[in-house]
């Protein structure tokens, strides 16, 4: 993933005024007293800048276009999480309106002033947890790895530290190793009573979302330090779930529940073992720059 020129974005705080001023008499943007919100919808061409089509947040955004009259005729554009972040950065650079499929934890909230659009119909669900799933039989085959995966638990700040380092250009494995070095106490809780092994192979599946790159690399590093021969395998979302259910991968730490990956959980829950939460307070939704004078999905306008 490319490096970013964050310095350019320092002007973001001044955007609200600029945009409001520019909006007067312009049909491109913002908040003249009537029709301003309509203009936002028109300005983004009734499109949500999405990510991978298999992502839970992408599917939820598509559902929003069906459930909200205000989003009738809207399109959610499939792309990648990296391309979404690039589009967001470029829009903010140009002070243009943009609506993206977003989630937290994510470094974008640390770098930009952003907000979730209210979702009165609850299409995107409430706060979520990220859970750890392992293949059936792991407990007997690899009790030490199982214990670490079962114990793995961290919080949003931990995850965002790692994500930010990666975003700033650090190699994921190095960023994970740095986090592990700085957080010995936490790691000790995960590895308490776990015996070292000698080169036993373990494979963790993940999706190349910033959250999952961070968490999977950290857990991988901890297992490696215990003597495991660790493979981290990036897959599509649905394929990741299937790989663990089929026993092709040993586990993953990337299950967003109950809503985001709820359909996949229902599909595979009998074929894998849910080791419970590794992070609380996650969230998905439609995200816009703070300078956009809009608060709710219901403030959008259907395509005419
Ligand atoms: N995400 C990040 C995923 C889960 C992790 C929110 C992009 C999804 O929507 O499926």
Q: Indicate the top mutation candidate among 211, 238, 264 to test ligand 1's pocket, ranked by most ligand atoms within 8 A of CB.
A: 211
| pLDDT profile of the chain (304 residues), mean per 10 | 34 36 40 58 97 96 98 97 96 97 92 96 96 98 97 95 93 98 98 94 96 97 98 97 98 97 97 98 97 97 92
Per-residue model confidence (pLDDT) at position 39? 87
Query: Per residue, what are the HEC states of the chain?
Result: CCCCCHHHHHHHHHHHHHHHHHHCCCCCCCCCCCCHHHHHHHHCCCEEECCCCCCHHHHHHHHHHHHCHHHCCCEEECCCHHHHHHHHHHHHHCCCCCCEEEEECCCHHHHCCEEECECCCCCCCCCEEEEEEEECCHHHHCHHHHHHHHHCCCCHHHHHHHHHHHHCCCCHHHHHHHHHHHCHHHHHHHHCCCCCCCCCEEEEEECCCHHHHHHHHHHHHHHHHCCCEEEEEECCHHHHHHHHHCCCCCEEEEEEECCCCHHHHHHHHHHEEEEEEEEEEEEEEEEEECCCCCCEHHHCCCCC
Q: Are 12 and 111 in contact (CB under 8 A)?
A: no
Per-residue model confidence (pLDDT) at position 22? 39
Per-residue model confidence (pLDDT) at position 152? 98
Closest atom, ligand 1, to C-alpha of 81: 7
pTM score, whole prediction = 0.84
150-205 per-position pLDDT tens digit: 999 999 999 999 999 999 999 999 999 999 999 999 999 999 999 999 999 999 99
Closest atom, ligand 1, to C-alpha of 284: 6
202-233 per-position pLDDT tens digit: 999 999 999 999 999 999 999 999 999 999 99
Closest atom, ligand 1, to C-alpha of 210: 2
| Cα 17 to averaged position of ligand 1 atoms, centre (Å) | 33
Per-residue model confidence (pLDDT) at position 9? 35
Query: d(Cα 254, Cα 264) in Å, to the nearest integer?
Result: 12
The structure tokens listed for 61 are 């955004």
Q: Are 213 and 85 in contact (CB under 8 A)?
A: no
The structural domains of the chain, ordered by start, are 5-126+285-299 (3.40.190.100), 128-283 (3.10.105.10)
Per-residue model confidence (pLDDT) at position 37? 60
The structure tokens listed for 69 are 């009259």
Protein residues whose CB sits closer than 6 Å to any atom of ligand 1 = 51, 55-57, 103, 209, 211, 237, 256, 260-261, 284
- Triad 280, 206, 263: Cα angle to 5°: 65
């Amino acid at each position: 993933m490319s490096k970013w020129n964050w310095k350019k974005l320092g002007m973001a705080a001044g955007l609200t005024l600029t945009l409001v001023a520019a909006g007067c008499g312009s049909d491109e943007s913002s908040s003249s007293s009537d029709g301003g919100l309509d203009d936002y919808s028109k300005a983004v061409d009734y499109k949500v800048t999405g990510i991978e089509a298999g992502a839970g947040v992408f599917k939820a955004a598509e559902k929003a276009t069906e459930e909200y009259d205000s989003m009738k005729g809207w399109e959610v554009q499939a792309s990648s999480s990296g391309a979404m972040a690039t589009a967001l950065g470029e829009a903010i650079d140009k002070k243009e309106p943009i609506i993206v499929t977003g989630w937290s934890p994510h470094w974008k909230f640390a770098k930009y002033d952003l907000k979730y659009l209210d979702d009165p119909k609850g299409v995107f669900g409430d706060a979520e947890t990220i859970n750890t799933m392992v293949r059936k039989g792991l407990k007997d085959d690899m009790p030490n790895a199982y214990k670490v995966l079962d114990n793995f638990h961290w919080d949003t700040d931990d995850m965002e530290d790692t994500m930010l380092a990666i975003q700033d250009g650090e190699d994921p494995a190095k960023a994970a190793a740095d986090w592990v070095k700085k957080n010995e106490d936490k790691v000790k809780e995960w590895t308490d009573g776990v015996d070292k092994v000698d080169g036993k192979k373990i494979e963790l599946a993940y999706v190349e979302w910033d959250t999952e790159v961070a968490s999977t690399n950290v857990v991988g590093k901890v297992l490696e330090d215990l003597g495991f021969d660790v493979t981290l395998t990036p897959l599509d979302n649905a394929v990741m779930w299937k790989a663990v259910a089929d026993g092709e991968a040993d586990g993953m730490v990337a299950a967003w529940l109950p809503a985001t990956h709820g359909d996949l959980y229902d599909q595979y829950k009998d074929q894998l073992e849910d080791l419970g939460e590794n992070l609380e307070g996650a969230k998905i939704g439609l995200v816009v720059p703070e300078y956009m004078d809009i608060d709710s999905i219901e403030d959008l306008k259907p395509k005419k």
